[in-house]
Structure 1
Amino acid sequence: MHRLTLFYDGQCPLCVKEMTRLRHADNEHCLALINIHSPACSAYPEINKQRAAQILHGITEDGKLLLGLDATCQAWKVVGRGRWIGLSRWPIIRPITDRFYLLFARHRYTLSKWLTGKSRCDNDRCNK
């Protein structure tokens, strides 16, 4: 049983890079990483694909839905590397980081183009 299932945008180069980093850090196989554009996502009818395309979704092993940075922080915590990103959940910082995350999510394809040279991936592959 996975401790966290993440639903990510497999067409976003930056999102795919983050999931690749998480996958490599997940030595205990605690994460299930599901591309929302893949058939595997249909096994989770509780996940609205349109909403999941707007904000990262995660489901804990006890069924709790996590969104955005809450899901990201939990993922890094599960793989044992959540110390620094956990600071983004501090009450005084949280409103700022949540707004920044939503801004990033809204413009992720443009940011991906600027940072990686490619705005979208094909089948989880982000080669130029």
Structure 2
Amino acid sequence: MTDVTVWYDGSCPLCLREMALMKRLDRKKAIEFVDLTRFETPCPVDRKLMMDRFHASENGTLHSGAAAFAAMWRAVPLLRPLGLAARRSWILKLLERLYLLFLQVRPHLQKIVGGRIKS
């Protein structure tokens, strides 16, 4: 049984690379990775919302944005300290601001990463 479930956009080259890295780091197989582009997979909330913003479930609690990343990090021993630090409200707020900035540049990064994958 997994401790954390993450949902990701399997059509996003950037997301695919990031989830591939997380899968390598998740040596204990504590994370269940769910590709949202597989439409037979049920979603806990609206699929489009989940495609637009990263989501993770930890101990039955659904997180989104920076909180979802922190939940995923807590499941990976190497990243656990960062995930635990994000339990402090000021750190999580800072990470959420950075995540919102990332969402603004994500389309540009997807094109860059996507171009590298196709080459």
Q: TM-score range by the shorter chain?
A: 0.7 to 0.9
- Whole-angstrom CA distance in 2 between matches of 1:70 and 1:113: 26
Unaligned runs of 5+ in 1: 120-125
RMSD: 2.3
2:75 aligned with 1:78, yes or no?
A: yes
Equivalents in 2 of 1:106, 1:36: separation in Å?
21
- The percent of aligned pairs where both chains have the same amino acid is 25
Offset of residue 109 of structure 1: 2.2
Partner of 2:29: 29
SS of match in other structure, 1:107: helix
Aligned pairs (5 A) from 1:1-128: 1-41=1-41, 44-60=42-58, 62-81=59-78, 82-84=80-82, 86-114=84-112, 116=113, 118=115, 126-128=117-119
Counting helix residues as a fraction of each chain, which structure ranks higher? 2
Change in Cα spacing, 1:11 to 1:117, as seen in structure 2 (3 Å) is: closer
Deviation at 1:96, TM superposition (A): 3.0
Q: Which has the higher contact order (CA 8 A, sep 6+)?
A: 1
Counting matched residue pairs gives 118
Q: Separation in 2 of the partners of 1:40 and 1:59?
A: 19
Q: Secondary structure at the match of 2:28?
A: coil
Tell me the CA shift for residue 106 of structure 1.
4.1
**Structure 2: which 5+ runs fail to align?**
none
Distance (whole Å) between structure 2 residues aligned to residue 67 and residue 95 of structure 1:
13
Q: What TM-score, normalized by structure 2, do the two folds share?
A: 0.81
Read off the aligned partner of 2:103 and give its amino acid letter. A
Shift in CA distance, 56/19, structure 1 to aligned 2, threshold 3 Å: same
CA distance in 1, matches of 2:43, 2:69: 21
Name which of structure 1's ranges 2-11 and 103-112 shifts more when overlaid on structure 2: 103-112
| TM-score of the pair, normalised by structure 1 | 0.76
> What secondary structure is seen at the aligned counterpart in 1 of 2:57?
strand
